[in-house]
Amino acid sequence: AQSVTQLDSQVPVFEEAPVELRCNYSSSVSVYLFWYVQYPNQGLQLLLKYLSGSTLVKSINGFEAEFNKSQTSFHLRKPSVHISDTAEYFCAVILYNTDKLIFGTGTRLQVFP
Partner 1 sequence: DADVTQTPRNRITKTGKRIMLECSQTKGHDRMYWYRQDPGLGLRLIYYSFDVKDINKGEISDGYSVSRQAQAKFSLSLESAIPNQTALYFCATRSVSNTGELFFGEGSRLTVL
**CB-wise, 41 or 70, nearer to partner 1?**
41
Residues that bind partner 1 (CB under 8 A): 6, 9, 32, 34, 36, 41-46, 49, 51, 90, 92, 94, 99-106
Contacts of 45 (CB under 8 A, 6+ apart): 36, 37, 38
Element containing residue 32 per DSSP (H, E)? strand 31-38
Closest approach, Cβ 64 to partner 1, in A, equals 18
- Helix, strand or coil for residue 84? helix
Shortest separation between residue 57's beta carbon and partner 1, angstroms: 12
Task: Give the integer Cα–Cα distance in Å for 39 and 87.
Answer: 5
Neighbours of 34 (CB within 10 A): 25
Q: Which lies closer to partner 1 via its Cβ, residue 9 or residue 80?
A: 9
Q: Minimum distance from CB of 45 to partner 1 (Å)?
A: 7
Nearer to partner 1, 1 or 113 (CB): 1
Q: Check if the beta carbon of residue 50 is closer than 8 Å to that of residue 57.
A: yes
Instruction: CB nearer to partner 1: give 100 or 113.
Output: 100
